């Protein structure tokens, strides 16, 4: 299911007192979604990387200093007086955990306690995991563990990813490329050393400001693979021949309109990056000249970056004229 729908469903699962398992391909944004839930609820997250933990991290270590053996629990477990009365315990990469850890986690999932420790009442649990079919080091969960979870399958979706990217500061050129080639967003291949995923495109975005153009191909090849790196480097060259966005804002009715799809998409991402409250009217006027599909993308990308512009007159009029389309 789409990220936006999964977000709503995870909220409902958490509020009902159940534990969701966000399941999807590697690099798809499962952990990021869990953090978004916590941010929307205004509560902290305690991240638990299960693949780097052992059974004793849950059961505690034995203390034989007294007459009876007791267990000292690890300090990563949330404490209300230290970590707050509410929060999200994020059990990351659950299907990749070893058997001992899974057995310990199952008790925490079912009873919310471990050897005398009790998860604070206001704390919720969210788990994540890769799909077994992706052969990414995970295996099918035992029935007694899976029965304690509500599975939320995630699928890559360009519009949802672009909305997240706008809110997360992902470079507008990366967003433009994914708009142009949506199939490049998620191409996980367990046999490939590197491949495009939502996570790897975020890495590309972080690299961009620090690279010279001559280094694009070798740098990006190590993140998304040589084929997509070459294609993205070519897409970046389009930005060198775009009309200045200032011309769009100064003369939205008479400014040149590109005829090539890739150039149009690049220009839309450029406009969305640079629009302000003063220029939003001109941007949408020009956007209408690009055709409905591109104008809708323009409005969505603008609002993902600057949600405050949703109440401007230009956007309100656009919504009214396009009431049959979900703008965001």
pLDDT band at 59 (very low <50, low <70, confident <90, very high): confident
* Residues 148 and 196 occupy one common structural domain: no
**pLDDT (average), residues 102-121:** 87
Instruction: Provide the number of structural domains found in the chain.
Output: 2
Boundary (domain end) residue, out of 123, 153, 183? 153
What pLDDT score was predicted for residue 67?
A: 78
Q: For 210-240, how does the pLDDT look when each residue is reduced to its tens digit (9 = 90+)?
A: 999 999 999 999 999 999 999 999 999 999 8
What pLDDT score was predicted for residue 136?
A: 63
- By C-alpha distance, which of 320, 239, 244, 310 is closest to 277? 310
* Residues 102 and 231 occupy one common structural domain: no
* Residues 132 and 163 occupy one common structural domain: no
CA distances from 94 to 31, 59, 280, 327 (A): 12, 17, 45, 35
Whether 296 is covered by a domain: the verdict is yes
* Residues 100 and 145 occupy one common structural domain: yes
Least confident of 68-72, 267-271, 307-311: 68-72
pLDDT band at 298 (very low <50, low <70, confident <90, very high): very high
Q: What is the CA radius of gyration of the chain?
A: 24
The CATH code of the domain that includes 51 is 3.40.50.300
Residues 6+ apart with CB under 8 A from 63: 69, 70, 71, 72
Whether 237 is covered by a domain: the verdict is yes
What pLDDT score was predicted for residue 62?
A: 76
What is the domain extent for residue 280?
A: 158-321
Whether 239 is covered by a domain: the verdict is yes
Whether 269 is covered by a domain: the verdict is yes
**pLDDT (average), residues 277-297:** 95
Whether 238 is covered by a domain: the verdict is yes
* Residues 168 and 267 occupy one common structural domain: yes
Q: Counting Cβ atoms within 10 Å, is residue 113 exposed (0-12), middle (13-18) or buried (19+)?
A: exposed
Whether 327 is covered by a domain: the verdict is no
What pLDDT score was predicted for residue 226?
A: 94
* Residues 129 and 58 occupy one common structural domain: yes
* Residues 139 and 168 occupy one common structural domain: no
Residues 6+ apart with CB under 8 A from 86: 41, 43, 120, 122, 123
Instruction: Please state the three-class secondary structure of the chain as a single string.
Output: CCHHHHHHHHHHHHHCCCCEEEEECCCCCHHHHHHHHHHHHCCCEEEEEHHHCCCHHHHCEEECCCCCCEEECCCCCCCHHHHCCEEEEEEECHHHCCHHHHHHHHHHHHHCEECCEECCCEEEEEEEEECHHHCCCCCCCCHHHHCCCEEEECCCCHHHHHHHHHHHCCCHHHHHHHHHCHHHCCCCCCCCCCCCCHHHHHHHHHHHHHCCHHHHHHHHHHHHCHHHHHHHHHHHHHHHHCCCHHHHHHCCCCCCCCCCHHHHHHHHHHHHHHCCCCCHHHHHHHHHHCCHHHHHHHHHHHHHHCHHHHHCHHHHHHHHHCCCCCCC
What pLDDT score was predicted for residue 104?
A: 84
Q: For 148-207, how does the pLDDT look when each residue is reduced to its tens digit (9 = 90+)?
A: 899 999 988 999 999 889 989 999 999 999 999 999 999 888 788 888 999 999 999 999
Whether 16 is covered by a domain: the verdict is yes
Whether 326 is covered by a domain: the verdict is no
Boundary (domain end) residue, out of 153, 183, 217? 153
* Residues 162 and 309 occupy one common structural domain: yes
pLDDT band at 115 (very low <50, low <70, confident <90, very high): confident
* Residues 163 and 300 occupy one common structural domain: yes
* Residues 103 and 217 occupy one common structural domain: no
Boundary (domain end) residue, out of 134, 153, 172? 153
* Residues 53 and 181 occupy one common structural domain: no
DSSP lists the bridge partners of residue 199 as none
Q: For 1-42, how does the pLDDT look when each residue is reduced to its tens digit (9 = 90+)?
A: 888 899 999 999 999 999 999 999 888 889 999 999 999 999
* Residues 138 and 230 occupy one common structural domain: no
**pLDDT (average), residues 246-261:** 94
């Amino acid at each position: 299911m789409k990220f936006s729908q999964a977000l709503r469903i995870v909220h409902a699962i958490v509020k009902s007192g159940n534990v969701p398992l966000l399941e999807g391909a590697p690099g798809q944004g499962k952990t990021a979604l869990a953090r978004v839930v916590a941010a929307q609820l205004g509560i902290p997250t305690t991240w638990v990387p299960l693949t780097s933990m052992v059974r004793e991290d849950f059961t505690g270590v034995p203390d034989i200093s007294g007459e009876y053996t007791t267990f000292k629990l690890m300090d990563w477990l949330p404490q209300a007086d230290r970590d707050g009365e509410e929060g999200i315990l994020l059990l990351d990469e659950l299907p990749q955990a070893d058997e001992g850890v899974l057995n310990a986690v199952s008790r925490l999932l079912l009873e919310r306690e471990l050897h005398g420790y009790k998860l604070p009442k206001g704390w919720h649990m969210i788990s994540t995991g890769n799909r077994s079919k992706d052969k990414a080091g995970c295996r099918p969960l035992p029935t007694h563990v899976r029965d304690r979870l509500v599975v939320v399958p995630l699928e890559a979706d360009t519009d949802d990813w672009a909305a997240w990217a706008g809110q997360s500061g992902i470079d507008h050129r990366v967003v433009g490329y994914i708009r142009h080639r949506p199939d490049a967003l998620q191409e996980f291949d367990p046999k490939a050393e590197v491949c495009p995923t939502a996570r790897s495109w975020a890495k590309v975005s972080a690299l961009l400001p620090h690279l010279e153009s001559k280094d694009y191909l070798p740098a990006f090849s190590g993140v998304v693979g040589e084929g997509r790196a070459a294609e993205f480097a070519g897409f970046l060259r389009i930005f060198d021949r775009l009309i200045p966005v200032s011309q769009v804002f100064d003369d939205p009715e008479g400014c040149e309109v590109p005829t090539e799809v890739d150039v149009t998409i690049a220009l839309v991402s450029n406009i969305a990056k640079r629009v302000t409250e003063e220029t939003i009217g001109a941007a949408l006027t020009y956007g209408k000249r690009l055709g409905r599909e591109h104008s809708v993308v323009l409005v969505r990308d603008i609002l993902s970056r600057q949600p405050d512009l949703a109440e401007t007159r230009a956007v309100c009029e656009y919504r009214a004229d396009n009431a049959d389309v979900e703008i965001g």
